[in-house]
């Protein structure tokens, strides 16, 4: 009985801790420093590659709830974060070196964990009593990426994240946009994985998209602002050529004034009901989460600096007051199409003794990556001991994330942060946003405690003297 984990990042380290905490031996393979990545700077486990923030830490915030659930499940990442916390208002930010040092020490000193510094180029063989967790992150090495493609099918493995900006639905000016699909076609003919829930990107309104129409003058104003906007500095790997299919809008714009009107801003097949005509150009907004409170700008991947993005994109009619939930970016990001490949236990559907966890499993963010590693670790330990894998209910943040990764619409799949929008709705919820979120959190924590009780997890998550300031 042994669990093998590939990748000692946030997900892999958390998974190793969970497995070992349940009395199952672990071998953790981490390729740094033998083989570096384009972004990591140290050889520490759980290195934070960019910001030092784990985001909000209050229960009226979805990532705050996810963190509280992880604390209850005995998360090493959460304990190390508390022990290296720096002042950051309502957010949980850490001293990054101290954080990684605590995780590295806790893992290295655990008697059931063996850390091996090598690059794994093929997915190790797995069986029920010796499961494997692959948690090699967005910068999974090339050789291993090829082997993953062999197992999941190359069409279900992505190498670039062309992320379009996302806006909060309630900040879109509905008086200026119109709801319609191109040529009146609806996406609702597509396969739905859950008959009771519209899948991601779908809409139960009259059309699948919200369309922002632009007159010639508005288009020219937008175009001029776009071509003169400042681009963000890119990492080395971003200097590689872009795929034609995911060109940043500013790159397209530099090819000619009308290129965008024949690309992501093409108006053909879209009739504005107020004029009865096609607009000069149009930007389409697609529902981005199950709850429908986020809309992404279709085909608007961009590398423009975030401040500049807000300025330029607010020139689009209907988005003048838009609040951005996420800005656009293009970067190397290896991840599988979760809904096609994974079960909600983070097991590979076609091979249940193999798990994918972390960013490469199709979640987004430090906390979400660690949370997926936590559940994959719990489940790998369970099956190694002859038990069964399971996931907390969708009323919890960790269960909702697992559900999203395995059930969102595969046709438009993009890694997601945790939001309250993907939790199962609460009937009779209070009206105000903050009160509603707090009620969702209260229900989530009660349901998590119940699930932990049923799974016999309450006894195994007590404080561990190896992790501390």
User: Would you tell me which residues interact with ligand FAD (CB under 6 A)?
Assistant: 6-12, 29-32, 37, 39-40, 49-51, 119-120, 135-141, 144, 235, 331, 358-360, 365-366, 369
Question: Whole-number minimum distance, CB 333 to ligand FAD, in Å?
Answer: 6
Question: Whole-number minimum distance, CB 114 to ligand FAD, in Å?
Answer: 14
**Spatial CB neighbours of 33, under 8 Å, sequence gap ≥ 6:** 43, 117
Q: What is the largest CA-CA distance in the chain?
A: 72
Alpha carbon distance 298, 272 (integer Å): 18
Alpha carbon distance 405, 369 (integer Å): 12
Alpha carbon distance 6, 123 (integer Å): 8
91 or 253: CB nearest ligand FAD: 91
Question: Whole-number minimum distance, CB 359 to ligand FAD, in Å?
Answer: 4
156 or 261: CB nearest ligand FAD: 156
**Residues 123, 151 contacting (CB under 8 angstroms):** yes
Alpha carbon distance 2, 127 (integer Å): 10
The DSSP call for residue 278 is -
- Interaxial angle between packed helices 76-83 and 10-21, expressed in degrees from 0 to 180 and rounded to the nearest 10: 110
**Strands (DSSP E) found in 30-107:** 53-56, 85-86, 91-94
235 or 436: CB nearest ligand FAD: 235
132 or 187: CB nearest ligand FAD: 132
For the chain, helix (H) and strand (E) counts, in that order, are: 12, 17
Question: Whole-number minimum distance, CB 239 to ligand FAD, in Å?
Answer: 13
> What is the token pair recorded at 149?
């493609």
130 or 424: CB nearest ligand FAD: 130
Question: Whole-number minimum distance, CB 25 to ligand FAD, in Å?
Answer: 19
124 or 292: CB nearest ligand FAD: 124
Question: Whole-number minimum distance, CB 363 to ligand FAD, in Å?
Answer: 8
Nearest residue to ligand FAD on Cβ basis: 9
């Amino acid at each position: 009985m042994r669990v093998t984990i590939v990748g000692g990042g946030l997900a892999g380290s958390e998974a190793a801790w969970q497995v070992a905490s349940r009395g199952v031996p672990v071998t953790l393979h981490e390729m740094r420093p033998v083989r570096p990545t384009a972004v990591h700077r140290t050889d520490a486990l759980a290195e934070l590659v960019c910001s030092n923030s784990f985001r909000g830490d209050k229960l009226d915030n979805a990532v705050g709830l996810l963190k509280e659930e992880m604390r209850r499940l005995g998360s090493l990442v959460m304990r190390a974060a508390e022990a290296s916390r720096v002042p950051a208002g309502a957010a949980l930010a850490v001293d990054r070196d101290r954080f990684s040092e605590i995780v590295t020490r806790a893992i290295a000193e655990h008697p059931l964990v063996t850390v091996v510094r090598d690059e794994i180029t093929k997915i190790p063989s797995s069986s029920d009593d010796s499961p494997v967790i692959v948690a090699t992150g967005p910068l999974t090495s090339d050789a291993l990426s090829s082997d993953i493609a062999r197992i999941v099918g190359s069409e279900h493995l992505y190498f670039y994240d062309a992320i379009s900006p996302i806006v909060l639905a309630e900040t879109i000016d509905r008086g200026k946009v119109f709801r319609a699909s191109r040529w009146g076609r609806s996406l609702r003919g597509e396969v739905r994985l859950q008959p009771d829930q519209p899948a991601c990107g779908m809409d139960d309104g009259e059309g699948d998209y919200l369309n922002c129409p632009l007159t010639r003058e508005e288009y020219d104003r937008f175009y001029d602002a776009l071509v003169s906007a400042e681009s963000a500095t890119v990492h080395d790997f971003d200097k590689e050529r872009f795929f034609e299919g995911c060109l940043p809008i500013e790159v397209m714009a530099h090819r000619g004034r009308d290129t965008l009107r024949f690309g992501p801003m093409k108006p053909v097949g879209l009739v504005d009901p107020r004029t009865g005509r096609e607009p000069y150009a149009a930007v389409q907004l697609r529902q981005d989460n199950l709850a429908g409170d986020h809309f992404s700008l279709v085909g608007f991947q961009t590398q423009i600096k975030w401040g500049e993005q807000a300025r330029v994109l607010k020139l689009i009619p209907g988005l003048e007051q838009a609040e951005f939930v996420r800005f656009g970016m293009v970067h190397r990001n290896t991840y599988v199409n979760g809904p096609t490949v994974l079960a909600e236990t983070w097991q590979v559907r076609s091979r249940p003794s193999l798990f994918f966890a972390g960013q490469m499993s199709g979640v987004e963010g430090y906390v979400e990556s660690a949370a997926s590693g936590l559940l994959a670790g719990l489940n790998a330990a369970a099956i190694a001991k002859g038990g069964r894998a399971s996931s907390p209910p969708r009323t919890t943040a960790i269960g909702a994330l697992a559900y999203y990764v395995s059930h969102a619409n595969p046709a438009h799949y993009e890694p997601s942060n945790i939001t309250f929008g993907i939790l199962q709705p609460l009937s009779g919820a209070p009206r105000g946003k903050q009160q509603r979120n707090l009620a969702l959190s209260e229900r989530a924590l009660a349901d998590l405690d119940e699930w932990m009780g049923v799974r016999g997890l309450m006894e195994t998550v007590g404080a561990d003297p190896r992790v501390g300031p």
